[in-house]
């Protein structure tokens, strides 16, 4: 029995043995190429685009670096039935669900450790699906949803939940993008890069660059903001101008 135990211990500890496991650090998006932001529907990217962001329900593009969109902190409008069956995980105030009015999305209730664990298992399944489908990274949207929670959710709750989700992504071999909340350096919670919507418009690009260097993907929706961002960061960041609905045949311009 002692010999068997010794052999089993060696199999675990010695590199190259049958049961040894290896881990690979997630790889952030490449620099020196362009990005296409395709959440409104898939389209064939031009040859100069090396990074494509698509919804987790769409397929990745062969031969490109693919980022998978997951709404990590709020609900998708087309998933109302799914979440109503788990209503206790949705944030409520005076009996009514708290809604992000801009998008018609319910906020997830991440205020307790128990709820965060349950929600992380749900979102983690979507993240795992991104990995199985062949994506290289995941974008977790609405990190700043606490700012729309009527004061019910705190920043510390968002940071704690973010750590659970980045850990789930890394276990699946995916890099993770911080989306929103430029004031916080999300690299402390495990984020590997940033996707910055309208950082030129709101003068936030520098904050993301301070956290992630050149690993920042920028999406602008107004031509004047796009021009401003290109002038300031176009020589080092991937910047794309898109129509706000992100339609497959909509506006696309690059620096």
DSSP 12: H
Confidence (pLDDT) at 133: 98
Confidence (pLDDT) at 95: 87
Residue 216 backbone dihedrals phi, psi, to 5 degrees: -130, 125
d(CA 57, CA 210): 32
Confidence (pLDDT) at 25: 82
The answer for 16, left when phi > 0, alpha when psi is -120 to 50, beta otherwise, is left
| Rg of the chain taking only CA atoms, in angstroms | 20
Question: H helices within 134-204, ranges in order?
Answer: 155-171
54 Cβ partners below 8 Å, 6+ apart?
38, 39, 42, 60, 61, 66, 67, 68, 69
- Model pLDDT for residues 135-193, shown as the tens digit of each residue: 999 999 999 999 999 999 999 999 999 999 999 999 999 999 999 999 999 999 999 99
d(CA 117, CA 98): 20
Specify the CATH architecture of the domain 2-254. Answer: Alpha-Beta Barrel (3.20)
Share of the chain above pLDDT 70, in %: 91
Confidence band for 2, pLDDT divided at 50, 70 and 90? very low
Higher model confidence: residue 47 or residue 77?
A: 47
Confidence (pLDDT) at 86: 97
Pairing of β 105-106 and β 137-140: unpaired
Which residues are paired to 176 by β-bridges?
138
Confidence (pLDDT) at 23: 47
- Model pLDDT for residues 3-23, shown as the tens digit of each residue: 333 333 333 333 332 323 334
Reduce the DSSP state of residue 197 to 3 states and report it: strand
Q: What is the mean pLDDT of the chain?
A: 91
């Amino acid at each position: 029995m002692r010999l068997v135990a010794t052999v089993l211990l060696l199999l675990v500890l010695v590199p190259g043995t049958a049961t040894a496991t290896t881990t690979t650090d997630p790889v952030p998006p490449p620099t020196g190429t362009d990005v296409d932001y395709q959440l409104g529907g898939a389209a064939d990217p031009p040859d100069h685009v090396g990074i494509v962001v698509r919804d987790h329900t769409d397929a990745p593009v062969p031969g490109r670096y693919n980022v998978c969109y997951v709404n990590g902190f709020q609900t998708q409008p087309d998933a109302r039935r799914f979440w109503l069956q788990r209503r206790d995980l949705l944030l409520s105030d005076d009996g009514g669900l708290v809604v992000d009015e801009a998008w018609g999305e319910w906020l997830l209730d991440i205020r307790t450790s128990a709820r965060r664990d349950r929600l992380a298992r749900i979102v983690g399944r979507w993240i795992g699906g991104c990995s199985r489908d062949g994506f290289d990274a995941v974008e977790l949207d609405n990190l700043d949803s606490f700012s729309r929670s009527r004061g019910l959710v705190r920043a510390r709750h968002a940071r704690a939940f973010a750590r659970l989700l980045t850990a789930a992504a890394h276990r699946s071999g995916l890099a993770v993008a911080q989306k929103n909340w430029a004031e916080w350096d999300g690299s402390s919670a495990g984020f590997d890069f940033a996707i910055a919507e309208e950082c030129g418009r709101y003068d936030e690009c520098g904050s993301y660059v301070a956290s992630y260097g050149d690993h920042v993907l920028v999406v602008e929706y107004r031509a004047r903001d796009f021009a401003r961002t290109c002038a300031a960061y176009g020589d080092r960041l991937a910047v794309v101008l898109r129509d706000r609905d992100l339609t497959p045949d909509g506006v696309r311009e690059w620096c």
